[in-house]
Structure 1
Amino acid sequence: MEGTASARPLSIWVVSDGRAGIENQALGLAEAVQRLTPAEIVVKRIQWRSLFDRLPSSLKTPSMLASTSDAVTAPPPDMWPDLWIATGRATLPLSARIKAWSGGRTFVVQTQDPRWAKPRYDLIVAPAHDGLSGDNVFEITGSPHRITPDRIAEAAPAFADRIAPLPHPRVAVLVGGRSKAFDLTEAHAADLADQIADAVRAAGGSLMLTFSRRTPEAAKAVMTARLSDLPGWIWDGTGDNPLFGFLHFADHILVTEDSANMAAEAASTGKPVHILPMVPLKSGDKFARLHDDLAERGATRPFDGTLESWTYEPLAETERAARAVLEAMGTR
């Protein structure tokens, strides 16, 4: 299908519960498909009524969707999408049935490990560190995302006035937070901030720092206090998110180890990615597999308090997954 002319563009529905970190996985994969073949993307956001949200996926029906959800069922026969790309638990009751509802018209792709009804999806694009296997499973390093060198270059001019004057090396720091596997305590955050400050000062560089929604307020406050005297920009959450600008202008990227998404996204830039340790809460075998993979590719190294530079081939896993989707659609 790639590179061939068709009577009309491929129609793609991107389906999620609307949370940015979830939606961007499906949307990133859809945009990668669109870069390979003409396509029209429609974003669909769904939520279940609170009374039914915790029901098993097998028991949920479209009548249980909240009134705020976008319409995703029962369109006219010729309006079903060619390609359905969905992410997240909320989408599973629909993804598992959409092929039957569309009369086989729609090719169904689910990202992440669905953990339910796996044979019902045409393709599962799963992180390799999850260890999922099956005839319909396509493994990638990390998760699909929207970061590409071209995309961050396009977004960069909006932030150039503030970032371009900053001294090199410019250090982008992406801080996560508490999860099932890791924590970011106030004491640990203070220690990380001191190490980062020492490295930036020693290099005569500048800082570009952004926190995630999971960053504890105490950790955010102590890091902001200890790093605010450095040249740079600590984004406080107001205004447009400068993440793409940070990634474009950075000479180094520091990422906390708790987020597979942030590490894989950073590794798509081709810039040195330094991994910041977190406080472990339980065995991190999955994360260890991911970080081992990224390190073997030459993308990441543990942060050792210095800003050593190195080069590697930028990861293009979302693009590779998009090619697999088109190949599978072409041979179905």
Structure 2
Amino acid sequence: MRIWIVETGLQGVTNQCMGLARAIATRIPSEIVIVRKTIRSKRIRPLINWALNHGFIGSSRNDLLSRILEYLLYRGTTLRLEKPDVVITALARSEYTAALFGGQQGAFTIHIGWPLNLPASRFDFLALIAEENVDTGCTPHVKLPIYPTPVLRRDIDSMSTKNLADQKRRWAVLIGGDGAGYRYTKTDWDQIASGLTQLATRLDARLLVTTSRRTGNDTERRLSSAFPASVFEQAVWYGSNPEAVISTYLAKCELVFCTADSRSMVADAIAAGRPVYAIDHPDAAKDAIHQKFLAIHEQTQRLRAIDVGRLGQIDVDADLLHHFKPLPSCWSEEFLEALFKTDFPRRFLTDSTSYRVDQRH
């Protein structure tokens, strides 16, 4: 099976699409491709709607007129010779691209969240977040407890079994940067390093630290000098030596400290079933979506928001015993169960396609 993820220009959103693709790949062997294709201008949306509605463009069309129209209306990779089986998209900016390759005779289209510019009927399946209250009509859908993420519980559990004999206390520290209404000062970073050092020293824990694309080299240098080497088990400074270690850290750690600016990293930690401390800032100008995301997961006790200046005062053991209630299972279980109740299996599971039933996804 060939799965296309439509690039939206936002890494966090692309990660959500990758999460759905990876979940499907646990059932059906798949090739996952990120496609960079966008409409040329928002002003031509009515023209694209007209062309889609009248069948002048779309996966079922491969004549000269449809190719010319596609070239005029869209820019980016076409890959027409490698027709996708499944197209996954999110956010309004990529809805039209998914619709181009979808349709009754085209690819199976999956949209994360509620479509903003096209009717839900344009898509074969919607992956909504639990707090989205919309009328989906006849469009098959599922409501997930958290944003999809490339972190799947089956992978984390598989890696975790290798560490059962090692009883060292480890905490993952996932560090983002400015964004989503957060603006960090040098004092903030010093407080983060100081507070986590106090906690780790007091409870004899070791830190698994990674920064991200948004952290910046100056902040990384400040943090690397502010933390004493004695509290590190591993540190990845993404700006100077990038390495994908989040899944490895989540498999090894007892709990997670994550700067609250990064929804994707917080979602990774929650999806892995780990208790999460979201390092928050009282002065952050969070947008409504971000604020709602944090509030919902704090209410359900999947995370606890802690002000940046109070890290050293946390009673970790009491919180682990009485406060945290991690997700009992991976979001992918609900997604796959709902997806395979649609016509998806009929369209893609043939006599030559093996259907791997695995409850660890």
Answer whether contact 2:91 2:116 (CA < 8 A) is retained: no
Aligned to 1:63: 71
Aligned to 1:34: 25
How far the C-alpha of 1:195 sits from its partner, in A, is 1.2
User: Could you say if the C-alpha distance between residues 129 and 179 of structure 1 is closer, same or farther in structure 2, counting changes exceeding 3 Å?
Assistant: farther
1:276 to 271, 275, 279: 279
Write out the 4+ residue segments of structure 1 that deviate beyond 6 Å after TM superposition: 53-56, 163-167
Is 1:147 aligned with 2:151? yes
Is 1:95 aligned with 2:104? no
Which residue identity is paired with 1:192? Answer: I
Q: Which runs of 5+ in 1 are unaligned?
A: 1-9
CA–CA distance in structure 2, aligned partners of residues 11 and 205 of structure 1: 44
TM-score (norm 1): 0.77
Which residue identity is paired with 1:30? Answer: A
Aligned to 2:55: none
User: Could you say if the C-alpha distance between residues 298 and 281 of structure 1 is closer, same or farther in structure 2, counting changes exceeding 3 Å?
Assistant: closer
Aligned to 1:289: 292
Answer whether contact 2:153 2:329 (CA < 8 A) is retained: no
Secondary structure, counterpart of 2:340 in structure 1: helix
Secondary structure, counterpart of 2:244 in structure 1: coil
CA–CA distance in structure 2, aligned partners of residues 58 and 180 of structure 1: 31
Aligned to 1:199: 199
Aligned to 1:21: 12
Percentage of pairs with the same residue: 17
Answer whether contact 1:173 1:209 (CA < 8 A) is retained: yes
Is 1:251 aligned with 2:254? yes
Aligned to 1:236: 237
How far the C-alpha of 1:305 sits from its partner, in A, is 2.7
CA–CA distance in structure 2, aligned partners of residues 168 and 19 of structure 1: 36
Aligned to 1:115: 116
How far the C-alpha of 1:109 sits from its partner, in A, is 0.7
Which residue identity is paired with 1:327? Answer: K
Aligned to 2:128: 126
Which residue identity is paired with 1:206? Answer: R
Deviates more, 1:254-263 or 1:104-113: 104-113
Is 1:46 aligned with 2:36? yes
User: Could you say if the C-alpha distance between residues 228 and 166 of structure 1 is closer, same or farther in structure 2, counting changes exceeding 3 Å?
Assistant: farther
Which residue identity is paired with 2:224? Answer: T
Which residue identity is paired with 1:185? Answer: T
2:328 to 311, 314, 319: 314
Is 1:328 aligned with 2:342? yes
Secondary structure, counterpart of 1:179 in structure 2: coil
Secondary structure, counterpart of 2:316 in structure 1: coil
User: Could you say if the C-alpha distance between residues 208 and 54 of structure 1 is closer, same or farther in structure 2, counting changes exceeding 3 Å?
Assistant: farther
Q: What is the aligned length? A: 308
Secondary structure, counterpart of 1:282 in structure 2: coil
Larger radius of gyration: 2
Answer whether contact 1:17 1:90 (CA < 8 A) is retained: yes
Aligned to 1:6: none
User: Could you say if the C-alpha distance between residues 99 and 226 of structure 1 is closer, same or farther in structure 2, counting changes exceeding 3 Å?
Assistant: same
Deviates more, 1:265-274 or 1:214-223: 214-223
How far the C-alpha of 1:250 sits from its partner, in A, is 0.7
CA–CA distance in structure 2, aligned partners of residues 20 and 57 of structure 1: 24
User: Could you say if the C-alpha distance between residues 260 and 313 of structure 1 is closer, same or farther in structure 2, counting changes exceeding 3 Å?
Assistant: same
Secondary structure, counterpart of 1:182 in structure 2: coil
User: Could you say if the C-alpha distance between residues 133 and 233 of structure 1 is closer, same or farther in structure 2, counting changes exceeding 3 Å?
Assistant: farther
How far the C-alpha of 1:170 sits from its partner, in A, is 0.8
Is 1:227 aligned with 2:227? yes
1:305 to 314, 322, 334: 314
CA–CA distance in structure 1, aligned partners of residues 166 and 183 of structure 2: 31
Deviation digits for residues 117-145 of structure 1, max 9, x if unmatched? Answer: 14322333233456655334543233211
Q: CA RMSD in A?
A: 3.6
How far the C-alpha of 1:246 sits from its partner, in A, is 0.9
TM-score (norm 2): 0.71
Q: Which runs of 5+ in 2 are unaligned?
A: 49-68, 307-312, 348-361
User: Could you say if the C-alpha distance between residues 165 and 242 of structure 1 is closer, same or farther in structure 2, counting changes exceeding 3 Å?
Assistant: farther
User: Could you say if the C-alpha distance between residues 202 and 118 of structure 1 is closer, same or farther in structure 2, counting changes exceeding 3 Å?
Assistant: farther
Answer whether contact 1:12 1:40 (CA < 8 A) is retained: yes
Answer whether contact 2:197 2:228 (CA < 8 A) is retained: no
Which residue identity is paired with 2:123? Answer: Y
